[in-house]
């Protein structure tokens, strides 16, 4: 019980930090909103989708997934920052659950995602995004997004603990997340890519997540993955499996790394 | 009763190539202050980290307040307070926020945590700054807040790792005042420092460490006696060096030595200020004008020189710097 209490306190600290430095919240929402506007108006006119409602219907799930994928960088740099400051020493010398600090941070970053996704959803609505599915499915789509962000947050924990410097963390996280979000069906169809990249894009968890969200938001899932492949036909199942696998691998590794990080 | 015991601790880094602690043993009697004195890289922080459960030793055993550090780290964490070399508080949060958060993490409950936070802010003269983010604090204020955070649940044993390193003289004085108050309250304290003066002021006993080993321990007086007490030092113009050597030798009753570069003549003395008066009188009657004259107490460097035959790393570099500067 006290472990849950410890985690709650750390999560609250994270939210308190956001209120003390509102810039963090502002910039973590401005960037995705800017992406929505740029892609909507730069590519929206030239990509013909054959989709009722136009490119923005396909784009929004893509940007949602990209945004939650960057949780990895947020968690990683936040944790690296704490390690640097020696704050971790204090936390570790307290009689609290030793994993509370890491678990609290991943939860805090997920709460931030709720805010960011809400703001993006509103921005999308303003520029013409209209999910055609029922409220239940749309909500399930957002739940998928949060869950995906949470899973990647644990990859971020490992990155944050492994890097020697907070600036390195930023770079590493971008090297991991950028190819993943662009070698996917998030912004353009994968069918125009070289064959080898197509296979990668097809099985890329970002693609399956984007496809899953499109399906849940009521789109015909045809923009992107090569028809007939398992992940393109079953994006929901594939995404769920990915998320569970990511967590099953990275939670224990990250926690062990944290416990041994100062040995 | 011993509150802290470290027995034959070995800690190596870099696959055994760097031996940070080399069979180090020390102990602290309950209710007393032990200062671990040594230069940078001697292993001071490593000792503290092991005793506060942040690091596991390769071999050896340790206990704090009778609890085994390696077998029961969770239990140890309930009875210790740690204030590190770097103020380990959240810079973005306010002083008040930090203390309340740590209070809650000590399971005080929100209400008690708030009461305790206010008490500590008051005690460490931080009430005015309570609602400001830590990043606006001075170095001294940060350290005080960090110390306050380590005292939230009245620890049985307190560890302070270089509490005044990097502080200006005023910040150091303030910090010493705060620590002296604590000591009067009867806390068991293990304090590391690079400054003999600090150990002198605060500690009942001093353990001098170098390259991971305790090379001497005892009271401050005992260590100084071992080093050889005070030295009379005079700096004069080149032309007066020979004559001054004679005068200093005569006054001190000991052989005087000369640092040619600095034109500094020195000799051990036992009479302190009387010797100073004596030498000034003699120099005056010989018509010699001294550029600088003083009685120097043994420094950490002297302790090191006499105990190990080599100077404390930092001091040595500093002195060389000075020499070059004067030339």
For residue B326, the model assigns a pLDDT of 41
Crossing angle for the helix pair B95-105 and A2-20, nearest 10 degrees?
Answer: 170
> How near does any CA of chain B get to the CA of A224, in Å?
44
3-state helix, strand, coil in chain B (%, to 5): 40, 25, 30
Chain Cα centroid distance, residue B26: 16
Report the distance separating Cα A254 and Cα A256, nearest Å.
5
**A87 contact residues in B (CB cutoff 8 A):** 88-90
> How near does any CA of chain A get to the CA of B223, in Å?
33
Report the distance separating Cα A201 and Cα B101, nearest Å.
45
Mapping DSSP to helix (H, G, I), strand (E, B) and coil, where does residue B57 land? coil
Q: Quick count: other Cβ atoms within 10 Å of Cβ A171?
A: 12
pLDDT tens-digit readout, A69-108: 999 999 998 888 888 777 888 888 888 888 888 999 999 9
Residue-wise DSSP of B95-117: HHHHHHHHHHHTT--HHHHHHHH
CA nearest to B144, candidates B163, B162, B161: B163
- Pairing relationship of beta strands B33-37 and B188-193 according to DSSP bridges: parallel
With CB atoms and an 8 Å threshold, state whether A93 touches B77.
yes
For residue A18, the model assigns a pLDDT of 86
Report the distance separating Cα A238 and Cα A205, nearest Å.
8
With CB atoms and an 8 Å threshold, state whether B54 touches A262.
yes
**Could you tell me which residues of chain A have a Cβ less than 8 Å from any Cβ in chain B?**
2, 5-6, 9, 12-13, 16-17, 20-21, 85-87, 89-96, 262-263
pLDDT tens-digit readout, B304-318: 777 766 555 544 444
| pLDDT < 70 stretches in chain A | 1, 48-52, 221-227, 261-263
Position B185 confidence tier, pLDDT thresholds 50, 70, 90: confident
The residue with greater pLDDT, B110 or B220, is B110
Range in A124-128, A210-214, B291-295, B319-323 the model is least confident about: B319-323
With CB atoms and an 8 Å threshold, state whether A16 touches B97.
yes
Asked if the structure places residue A48 within a domain, the reply is: no
Question: Tokens 């309340």 map to which residue?
Answer: B100
Asked if the structure places residue A205 within a domain, the reply is: yes
Report the distance separating Cα B23 and Cα B78, nearest Å.
27
For residue B300, the model assigns a pLDDT of 62
**A95 contact residues in B (CB cutoff 8 A):** 74, 77-78, 106-107
Question: Tokens 């018509």 map to which residue?
Answer: B287
Mean predicted lDDT score pLDDT of chain B = 86
Percent of all residues in chain B with a pLDDT value above 70, rounded to a whole number: 91
Locate the domains of chain B by residue range.
2-225, 227-326
> How near does any CA of chain A get to the CA of B218, in Å?
29
- For residue A204, give the DSSP letter: -
For chains A and B, count residue pairs whose Cβ atoms are closer than 8 Å: 67
**B87 contact residues in A (CB cutoff 8 A):** 86
**A94 contact residues in B (CB cutoff 8 A):** 77, 102, 105-106
Length of chain A, please?
Answer: 263
For residue B127, the model assigns a pLDDT of 94
Q: Quick count: other Cβ atoms within 10 Å of Cβ A13?
A: 22
pLDDT tens-digit readout, B146-171: 999 999 988 999 999 999 888 888 88
CA nearest to B125, candidates B140, B136, B105: B140
3-state helix, strand, coil in chain A (%, to 5): 75, 0, 25
Count: domains in chain A: 1
CA nearest to A238, candidates A252, A221, A251: A221
Based on the number of CB atoms within 10 Å of its own CB, is A257 exposed (0-12), middle (13-18) or buried (19 or more)? middle
Q: Tell me the residue range of the domain where A188 lies.
A: 2-43+53-260
Enter the ipTM: 0.81
Report the distance separating Cα A72 and Cα B185, nearest Å.
47
**B46 contact residues in A (CB cutoff 8 A):** none
Report the distance separating Cα B247 and Cα B261, nearest Å.
20
A75 contacts A156 by C-beta, under 8 angstroms: yes
Q: Does 3.40.50.150 match the CATH number of domain B2-225?
A: no
With CB atoms and an 8 Å threshold, state whether B92 touches A94.
no
For residue B7, the model assigns a pLDDT of 95
Report the distance separating Cα A237 and Cα A242, nearest Å.
9
The CATH architecture annotation of domain B227-326 reads 2-Layer Sandwich (3.30)
For residue B301, the model assigns a pLDDT of 66
Range in B71-85, B121-135, B302-316 the model is least confident about: B302-316
What the block records as the tokens of A82 is 């704490």
For residue A48, the model assigns a pLDDT of 67
- Say yes or no to pLDDT of B236 above 70: yes
């Amino acid at each position: 019980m006290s472990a849950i209490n410890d985690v709650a306190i750390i999560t609250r600290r994270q939210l308190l930090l956001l209120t003390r430095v509102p810039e963090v919240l502002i910039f973590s929402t401005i960037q995705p909103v800017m992406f929505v506007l740029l892609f909507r108006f730069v590519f929206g006119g030239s990509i013909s989708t054959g989709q009722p409602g136009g490119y923005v219907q396909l784009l929004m799930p893509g940007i949602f997934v990209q945004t939650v994928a960057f949780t990895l960088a947020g968690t990683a740099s936040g944790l690296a920052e704490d390690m640097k400051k020696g704050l971790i020493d204090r936390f570790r010398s307290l009689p609290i659950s030793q994993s509370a600090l890491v678990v609290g941070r991943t939860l805090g970053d997920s709460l931030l995602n709720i805010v960011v996704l809400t703001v993006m959803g509103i921005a999308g609505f303003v520029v013409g995004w209209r999910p055609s599915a029922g409220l239940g499915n749309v909500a399930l789509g957002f739940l998928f997004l949060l869950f995906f962000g949470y899973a990647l947050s644990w990859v971020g924990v490992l990155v944050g603990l492994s890097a020697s410097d907070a600036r390195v963390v930023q770079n590493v996280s971008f090297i991991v997340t950028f190819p993943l979000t662009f070698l996917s069906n998030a912004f353009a169809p994968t069918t125009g890519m070289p064959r080898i990249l197509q296979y990668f894009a097809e099985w890329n968890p970002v693609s399956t997540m984007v496809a899953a969200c499109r399906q849940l938001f009521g789109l015909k899932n045809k923009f992107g993955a090569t028809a007939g492949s398992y992940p393109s036909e079953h994006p929901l199942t594939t995404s769920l499996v990915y998320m569970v696998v990511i967590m099953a691998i990275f939670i224990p590794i990250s926690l062990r790394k944290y416990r041994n990080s100062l040995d | 009763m011993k509150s802290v015991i470290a027995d034959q601790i070995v800690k190596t880094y870099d696959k055994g190539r760097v031996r940070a602690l080399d069979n180090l043993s020390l102990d602290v009697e309950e209710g007393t202050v032990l200062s671990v004195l040594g230069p940078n890289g001697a292993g001071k922080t490593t000792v503290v980290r092991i005793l506060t459960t942040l690091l596991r030793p390769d071999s050896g055993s340790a206990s704090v307040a009778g609890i085994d550090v390696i077998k029961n780290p969770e239990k140890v964490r309930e009875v210790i307070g740690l204030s590190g070399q770097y103020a380990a508080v959240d810079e973005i949060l306010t002083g008040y926020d930090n203390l309340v958060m740590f209070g809650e993490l000590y399971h005080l409950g929100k209400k008690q945590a708030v009461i305790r936070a206010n008490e500590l802010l008051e005690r460490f003269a931080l009430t005015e700054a309570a609602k400001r983010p830590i990043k606006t604090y001075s170095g001294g204020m940060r350290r005080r807040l960090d110390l306050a955070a380590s005292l939230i649940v009245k620890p049985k044993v307190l560890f302070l790792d270089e509490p005044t390193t990097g502080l200006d003289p005023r910040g150091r004085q303030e910090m010493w005042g705060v620590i002296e108050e604590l000591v009067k309250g009867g806390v068991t304290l293990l304090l590391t420092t690079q400054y003999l003066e600090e150990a002198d002021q605060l500690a009942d006993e001093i353990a001098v460490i170098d390259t991971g080993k305790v090379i001497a321990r005892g009271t401050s007086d005992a260590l100084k006696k071992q080093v050889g007490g005070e030295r009379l030092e005079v700096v004069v113009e080149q032309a007066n060096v020979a004559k001054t050597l004679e005068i200093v030798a005569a006054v001190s009753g000991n052989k005087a030595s000369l640092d040619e570069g600095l034109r500094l003549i020195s000799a051990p003395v036992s009479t302190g200020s009387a010797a100073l008066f004596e030498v000034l009188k003699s120099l005056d009657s010989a018509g010699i004008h001294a550029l600088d004259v003083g009685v120097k107490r043994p420094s950490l460097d002297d302790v090191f020189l006499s105990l190990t035959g080599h100077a404390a790393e930092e001091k040595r570099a500093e002195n060389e710097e000075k020499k070059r500067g004067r030339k």
